[in-house]
Structures are given as C-alpha cells and as structure tokens.
Amino acid sequence: MIQVGVNGYGTIGKRVADAVAAQPDMQLTGVAKTRPNYEAEAAVRKGYPLYAAIPERADRFHEAGIDLAGEVEDMVMTADVVVDTTPSGIGADNRGLYERYDTPAIFQGGEDADVADVSFNARSNYGNAAAADVETARVVSCNTTGLSRLLAPLREEYGVEKVRVTLVRRGGDPGQTSRGPINDILPDPVEIPSHHGPDVNTIFPDVDIDTLGVKVPATLMHLHSVNVTLEADPSAAEVRELLSDESRLFLVPEETGIDGTGKLKEFAMDTGRPRGDLWENCIWENSVSMEGRDLYLFQSIHQESDVIPENIDAVRALLDWEDRETSMATTDETLGVGLESLFDGQRQRVVPKSNSDD
C-alpha cells in the first residue's frame, strides 16, 4: 500500500484525501491543517489522522477540542509521497520540508512550473513523472488539465496546428466569500496570452496556443470557447466519436436539456456525485463543429474537482507503481468517473426540464 500524506485540507485537499482513501493500493497517512476550523473537524469525523501544519499553532487544536496525531513533519516522515494542496505559493515554501525527508511530493497548478521536476497530466504525459530521476510533480491547474485532456487525443489522431481558447472563468469558489467580481466582467488578465497557454506548453511544449481570460461573477464552473486548427479535416461526427471514447471527457447530449453550468452541477448532484463534483470535461455535444480544418466547441471545467483524478494518477506515476492505462482505469473505477455511460442505450431516459418553472 502506498502511504499518502495530504498537506492542506481545503477545497482540493479534502477531495484528494477522500480519493486516496478510496484507492485499493493506497492508504491515507493523514492530512495537515493550519487551523482548527470546520474542515479539520470533518477530517477527524472521517477518521483521518490530523496533523498541525504549523507546529506553533498545535495548541489551538487542543483548545478547540480537536485531537492531533502530531505535527506535519511526522506525517512527511511516514509518507511514501505527499500531495501538497496548500494555497498558491505555500507549496514552494514546503518543498524544503519534503526534500529534508527525501519524500516525493506532488504540487498543484497554483505553483510556478519550476516548483517541480515535471508538470503532469495523466492522459498527456504520465511517463514523464514515472522517469527514474523525477522526485516531484506539479499537477497543472484545473483549466490546463481540461485543455490537456482535450488536446491529447486530437494531437494523436489528427495533429494540431494551432489552438485558440477564450476562458470564461468563475470569480471564486462557492466558499470563497472574499473573491469577486460581484457585478462586473473583467478581462483577466488584460494582456494576451493569459497564463493558461504557457501552462499548456509545460505539458505540450510544441503546441502553438493563444489564450484569453475573462472573469465573471459566478462560482459554479469555468467555460472554454475552443478553436483548434487540425492538420487533418475529420467530420464533426468523427471528432465526437473520438472524444466520447475518452473517459474523462463527457459529451453532454442535447436531449438532456442541460444548457449551462447550473444544470451541469444539478445533474452531478442528482446522480449522487460527492459534493456535486464533475471530474470530467463537460463538452456540449452539439457545439462540436468543423469548418474546414477548424474545430470549434464549448466545454465546462469544474474547478474544484477536475484535478482530483490527476493527483491520484500522479501518485502512482511518481512512484512508478503502475502504467498509465492501469492507473487511470483504477482511478476512474474507484471514483466513478465516466458520465457518458449513463446515456449508453438510454439517451432519451434522462431529460431534465429546460424551463426553471417546471
């Protein structure tokens, strides 16, 4: 069993911890928190060993009646690998701690690419993290994860000449009360490209990609408007078939009546997804269009959860535990990834109403 520690137990950390606990070949060594809030109490209720991420604050946990298993260094010493899910910039500060105990570490996309030996996306470059001299990996951001998943099969099947993406980004996660905008639409950044294109190049260095970012007053998901100039000229039907074969790409059928991110999230909750999570890229099937060699489509990315399967695969890749196909299949099966299967042979049976008054 791989002993996995999770440093940080917020939006991403708590999901990674649950995913680790669900794996047949992993055991959760523990999770580390900086303060005794409701998430720390939830971790203890689940039976997760809880460690103080900042040793000087250990007394705060005791005063709040929350038992600790120790300090973060204790967790790092006993773990085979640590998944760092701390806020942006903190992971880079923590790298020295992991190096001190020779513990391989996985960082998140909020860190600069040079925080780790490789940037990682399971579908696109699993083997890079499995190399013998690699001790650290960075799971790229939610948006870069979504774009990399989409581009990987397109590159392999048709070749990619040019990528242009406009990212309509949520202002904050549902629990981020300090985020915004509240009543505005912001070019973010106003310069071109946004950071997403260069981040995709950490996965695919040779891809010619331009990205623009817009931030809107929403919390549910990101929306990508994608244009890819292919080296071949397949039909739209052929592209849809290619994408539908990818477990982490979900082509949203027209007959579902799901016409926006709100209904996508409601659909996830109705199907029993934990926290209403959508681990897959959600691509509107009818948006997949071809004009000559230009592919157009819309996809939505759930920023709280799409990187969770990637973190699990990164654990196996970093330790050279399984090959890509085996790891992804195990991760998908244990988490329940793959919404497309709900519509196989019964595409007319799940039809949410399109009128909010119904």
Catalytic (active-site) positions:
142
d(CA 211, CA 19): 31
Do the Cβ atoms of 189 and 120 come closer than 8 Å?
no
d(CA 322, CA 37): 36
Runs of H (alpha helix) within 50-202: 58-63, 72-78, 90-100, 122-129, 142-157, 196-200
Q: What is the CA radius of gyration of the chain?
A: 20
d(CA 349, CA 137): 42
Please report, for residues 118, 136, 235, the alpha-carbon distance to residue 258 in angstroms, rounded to integers and kept in the order given.
37, 39, 24
Please report, for residues 10, 130, 137, 177, 217, the alpha-carbon distance to residue 133 in angstroms, rounded to integers and kept in the order given.
30, 8, 11, 42, 43
The beta strands (E) that lie in 196-315 are given as 209-216, 222-230, 249-252, 281-284, 289-291, 294-301
d(CA 145, CA 301): 9
Smallest CA-to-CA distance from 314 within 74, 26, 97 is with 26
Bridge partners (DSSP) of residue 295 are 228, 290
DSSP state of 265: H
